Every structure is written in structure tokens, then in C-alpha cells.
Chains A and B, each alone.
Chain A
Amino acid sequence: MIALELTDIEYSYRRNTALRGVSLQVEAGEIVAITGASGCGKSTLLHCAAGILTPDKGSVRLDGQDLAELSADARAALRRTKIGVVLQFGQLVPDLPLIDNVALPLLLAGHQRSEAHEHAREWLTQVGIQDEADAVPSELSGGQTQRAAIARALVSGPSVVLADEPTGSLDSRAGKELLDVLVSTARYRGAALVMVTHDNLVAAAANREIRLRDGVIQHEVAL
């Protein structure tokens, strides 16, 4: 089954074109690495897939549903339930304790706090930081913050997890640990995982490498 399908995506920032017609399909449970030099458009592609950016041309389909056909609110709801996003840093609400941060997508969807906390705790355990549930983000190390971000990305049971340089702010050892957590958590959930990275060790964890250059796919190889 195809979890995520991007067709002929084009996107321009004010002056320069970031993507010039990129298509890609991600099967459920697959792990895909998107690589390429800085400025090749890889993060833009991920942001289009996540619905953070709206492409100028082309379509984004999630579990067969075209994002462009949805209202802004429905898109937000879909993002909340079907997609988990992990960025390089800075995605946690600074003044909320971890448990609430992780429970956030469920709380926003209208779940009771106690119920949301129960799920959040499960995922905090899954990523190995259940002891930090009551800490606020500023009290945590970079690796712990990223783990919390992974837990939050998965708490609502998404079919696709999108990660933009998830280990970018970490040293190689913490990065490896985080990568293991990310891959095993996505597998545990059975979600497809799409990672944008310039780190070969992260790319090596994928089943497929898609390499971008100047906004087009340069090559695509199975790993």
C-alpha cells in the first residue's frame, strides 16, 4: 500500500526555485532517505509532504487522500493523525512539561488529558525517557529533546513519519542512539519513515536512497 505519494512537486521561494518537478512514492513501513548537498531542496520537499508548505504545483497524497482537496483545518487534522514530524530542533513548546508536549496532538484532537497522558507515557517509555515526563524542554539534553519529539510524532499513530535532519544537532554517538530509537519506534508502529539527511550513517538505515540535486531527483537506489 502506498502511504505517501508526491507527484510532480514544484516549489519556489521568492527568488529561487527549490523544487522543479519531484515525484516519489513511499510504501507503508518503508524507510526512505532523501539526501543531497545543502540547498538541493530536500528540506523543502519534506515540508511540502508534511503540509507545512503548500507546493506551487503537483499533488501530495496521504493514504490516497489529496491534501489540496482539503480545507486548512482538515489538513491540520490530517497532519495531526496521519503524519508525525521530527525536525532538527525547536519543535517542543518551551514551557510545557514533556508529558504534555508529547500528548499535545491528542489534546488538540479533543482527547481527555488523562487518556492522552496514558498514551504519551507509553511512547515516552518506548523512546526511553519515561523518567523525564515532568521536565520542561530546557532541562533536557539535545538527545532527550529529540526523543521527546519522536514520541510526539508517533503518539497519534501516524502512517508516515517525516524527519528533517533528526540527528543534526547531536554528536555521532547520541545521533546513532537517536537513529536507533527513531527506526525501531517507526517499525514498532509500522509507519513509513522518510528522513532528510546529509549524514551517511542515517541514510544507511534506509531501504532506499533518493538523492536530490538542484531541485530534481539525481538518482534513486535501493539499499
Chain B
Amino acid sequence: MATAELVLGLLSAGPAHGYDVKRGHDSWFPDGRPLAFGQVYTTLGRLERDGLVEVVEKTSGGGPDRTVYALTDKGRKHLADWLVDPVPPAWGSADEVLRKLVAAVRTGGDAAAFLARQRASHLRRIRELQESPAGQDPTSPLVRDYTVAHLDADLRWLDSAIERLSEQETS
């Protein structure tokens, strides 16, 4: 996961508190899972250790939320390099749906019923997303399209899985 680089990106506009970093992340990915506070601070700590960010202000007696971080030159370069590199295609990592399906088929569970419910759940998620308009900023519609397209791809795979199971049943 590229949370570290995202945090660098969030700091590139100027120094910020850990809290601002979290807020920024969640507004960049409105349909995604919110970033946990704990993860923000461990990430910032690691980045500081590697010299990619530095502490520019620290209110006395304050906890971690009192600290203001800023990008270093090294951090800026790291971010630029990261943005240039293409991402290697995913390595067929099994997500939860696939794991459940394989387990259901192997253990003689009702795979067809599971797939039908999974389809419904995915369709419902797409409808929720389609019903609330995406934000007006430049990236929100992109994030939205990405999420919907991936759900659609999952659904198409679910479709073919249903067909395949039905064929195996009838033959």
C-alpha cells in the first residue's frame, strides 16, 4: 500500500497537522475506507525517520496531534519519482469474495445462493454510489468512476461464475 507516498502528497501543499492529513486523505477518496489516526501517526513517524518529512512546529506538552509536519527536499523527490512509476499489474491476489466462493464450492456449501447475494450486495453499492452525485473537485469523479468500474468488473465475473456453476450442475 502506498499510504506513505499519499501522505507525502497530502503534505506537498504545505506543512500540516496529522489530523489535516487524515481529513485530506478522506476527502480525496470520499467513497473509500477512511484513514485511521493510528496509521497516520505511524506513517508520519516512519517518514520522519527516513528523512522524507520533518517536524517544523511542536506545541509544548502537546500529544502527537500538536505536531506540524512538512516535506523535506528528499521527500519531494521521492514523491515525484513515485508519480512517474507505473504500477505493476495485480498478481491475482485472492480477495474475500473469491476465498468464500472457493471455500463454498470445496466444502459443498450453497455457492449459487452466495453468488446471488453477493451480486445483490454489489449492485446495491453501485446504486448508492450512482445516487449520490460525485463531488465537484477535479478528482472525486475519477475516484467514483474507478470504484464503479471495479464493482462492474466484479459483477461481470460474478455473472460468469453463476453461469459456470449452473453449467456444471446441468452437465
Contacts and interface: CB of A to CB of B under 8 A. Distances in A.
Answer yes or no: A and B touching, Cβ < 8 Å: yes
Interface of A: 37, 176, 200-201, 203-206, 209, 211, 213, 218-219, 221-223
B116 A219 contact: yes
12 contacts: A37-B159, A37-B163, A200-B123, A201-B126, A201-B152, A204-B126, A205-B130, A209-B120, A213-B163, A219-B113, A221-B117, A223-B123
Interface residues on B, range: 20 to 34
Nearest to A33: B123
A37 B159 CA distance: 8
A141 to B, nearest CB: 22
Contact of A204 (B127, B159, B163): B127
B120 A200 contact: no
B116 A221 contact: yes
B162 to A, nearest CB: 8
Contacts of A219: 112-113, 116
Contacts of B120: 209, 221-223
A200 B116 contact: no
A175 to B, nearest CB: 12
Nearest to A37: B163
A223 B121 CA distance: 7
Nearest to A220: B116
A222 B159 CA distance: 17
**What is the interface of chain B mostly: helix, strand, loop, or mixed?**
helix
Interface of B: 112-113, 116-117, 119-120, 122-124, 126-127, 130, 148, 151-152, 155-156, 159, 162-163, 166
A223 B166 contact: no
A200 B148 CA distance: 10
Contact of B123 (A37, A203, A213): A203
**What is the interface of chain A mostly: helix, strand, loop, or mixed?**
mixed
Contacts of A176: 130
Given A200-B156, A204-B123, 13 more contacts: A200-B126, A200-B152, A200-B159, A201-B130, A201-B152, A205-B127, A209-B119, A213-B166, A219-B112, A221-B116, A221-B119, A221-B120, A223-B124
Nearest to A176: B130
Contacts of B148: 201
Nearest to B154: A200
Contacts of B155: 200
A69 to B, nearest CB: 36
A218 B119 CA distance: 13
Contacts of A37: 159, 163
Contacts of A206: 123
Which of B116, B123, B152 has most A Cβ within 10 Å?
A: B123
